[in-house]
Structure 1
């Protein structure tokens, strides 16, 4: 009786399209302890070879898939074979909570069109890859180790140790661009030139500055046009040098103002002396005129 009941249930499952077999071509399938394994459990809607929907114990959810792993929508917690993963993957970095990739091998993969990852696998928070080069935040680009890089014919590169070519010139640095950088505001962290106002600062005389300019054709401490053309301009250092020259000009202006004030006082004193001399001269002229009148009156008698 028990065997007949079992046979009846199996026939009923087949008629209804519910099968314990991995290879049956049913529209709805529930697999338990299948294919010699006690750890794989499937719930499938559609057929095995042409899945329309897949849910399995490994954390795979697929919808409208021509084959498993190539679905229109695929959410997985598998270690490597994934399109999108959310959460911790056993044996891997606990920081790998969100991954959106095109299927490929290795932590980077060679054929990613879109690659969004958070975790230690790619050693990056966000990576966007294209043809030939890629962009990485806090990770790696090719064999370098930059912070971020966007490659488009080597137009813009950002990182710590990136080496690239711009106009056949080797460029190394934190940010390299072969174009115009435009921003409403740029903040540069740099030292100031307030040392100019120290009591022991040796301010060159204007005579010495004039002699230096005649010989070198540029201001002291300022790079020449030739050096700037060959090595570029360090904005942080140049801002400090320009501020230094402005502060030196301020000191020169203060000194000249003191000289002008002294000259004004001298002229004022001279004018005061001239006024006193003029008054004395006028007094003497009056006395002389009176004396002449007196002499004339005596002589006429």
Structure 2
């Protein structure tokens, strides 16, 4: 009697299972559906592994993994305190709207899962943001390397490197005694306000980092100043073996041309008396207030040297002429002296 009951129960279960499983001629198998869309299609149900605390299921709070790819809502692969969520508005096999892969973990007690990282429909990865602008976008956070005393992190006093590219505050790449700071009020991909790249080092003890060099939004570099007004602005001394300056004005060889209007010494003297400086040279007051353009000033000084050369040549010619005249006068004086002697005889 017991054997007959067992056979009846097994046969009933077999018939029940057969009624829930569909196999199409194309090889697709469906459980809970008569129209399986893929090789294995489970509809309105889940699949649980027999291994303890391991499973694949839908809508179950398992210690294992929960996985759903849903038509028009959120799918989730999750453990007790973590989830991978598939977000989209259409089927996996061809969404007409952007999809999103969200990685989540449990936050504070009762908070539920909190989004930690996403991969959007463009393949951009975002950590701390659900709208990454590039292939890897970290927002309000950092990266720390596992090597001791070496790291990339935000807001941490590491011996390694601290690096942040933030939306509207300061990011920093720093070591214990140095920093590279990104300053701006807009997004990295297109700030609407001026940005600044600041290079800093530690000053005296406990003084914090001090700005040593900046690159502003115009590409101007400033050393010792935060407001460079040229491609390179230095507030302090420069020590170099050689400096080459490209000319923006013509070299003053025009001074040696025949049509050059060379002032007379008397005219130069009058200009100095009236103005207090050489012609075509800025006054001391102008130089103090506006600074010195090395290229332009060197050309002006060369102009004066060439003018002095012309004055010297002119003086040399006059001196030779005077010497010649003096020699002739001496000869005449000797001849006159001889004539006087002869007359006295």
Q: What TM-score comes out, normalization by structure 1 length? A: 0.52
The counterpart of 2:220, out of the listed 144, 148, 151, is 148
Matched, 1:157 2:204: no
- Give the Å deviation of 1:196: 1.9
Partners of 2:289 and 2:182 lie apart in 1 by 39
Match of residue 248 from structure 2: 190
Unmatched tracts of structure 1, length 5 or more: 63-67, 85-99, 140-145, 160-172, 289-301
The residue correspondences of 1:176-215 to structure 2 (distance < 5 A) are 176-184=233-241, 185-191=243-249, 192-215=251-274
Match of residue 10 from structure 1: 48
Match of residue 119 from structure 2: 56
Assess if the C-alpha contact under 8 Å between 2:220 and 2:231 holds in 1: no
Partner of 1:128, secondary structure, is strand
Assess if the C-alpha contact under 8 Å between 1:203 and 1:248 holds in 2: yes
Partner of 2:78, secondary structure, is coil
Deviations 1:239-284 (A, max 9, x none): 23222211110100111111222233334445666778899999x8
Matched, 1:243 2:302: yes
CA RMSD of aligned residues (A): 5.3
Q: What TM-score comes out, normalization by structure 2 length? A: 0.47
Match of residue 19 from structure 1: 66
Match of residue 164 from structure 1: none
Question: For residues 179 and 227 of structure 1, do their structure 2 counterparts lie closer, same or farther at Cα, with a shift above 3 Å needed?
Answer: same
Question: For residues 120 and 267 of structure 1, do their structure 2 counterparts lie closer, same or farther at Cα, with a shift above 3 Å needed?
Answer: farther
Partner of 1:157, secondary structure, is coil
Which structure carries more helix by proportion? 1
Assess if the C-alpha contact under 8 Å between 1:190 and 1:237 holds in 2: yes
Unmatched tracts of structure 2, length 5 or more: 1-16, 22-30, 33-39, 56-63, 68-74, 93-97, 108-112, 143-162, 173-180, 200-208
Question: For residues 158 and 188 of structure 1, do their structure 2 counterparts lie closer, same or farther at Cα, with a shift above 3 Å needed?
Answer: farther
Deviations 1:198-223 (A, max 9, x none): 21222222233233334443222323
Partners of 2:120 and 2:256 lie apart in 1 by 74
Match of residue 220 from structure 1: 279
Partners of 1:202 and 1:75 lie apart in 2 by 65
Partners of 1:28 and 1:226 lie apart in 2 by 72
Match of residue 77 from structure 1: 135
- Bigger CA drift: 20-29 or 246-255? 20-29
Match of residue 71 from structure 2: none
Assess if the C-alpha contact under 8 Å between 1:156 and 1:176 holds in 2: no
Partners of 1:22 and 1:276 lie apart in 2 by 128
Matched, 1:259 2:318: yes
Which structure carries more strand by proportion? 2
Match of residue 229 from structure 1: 288
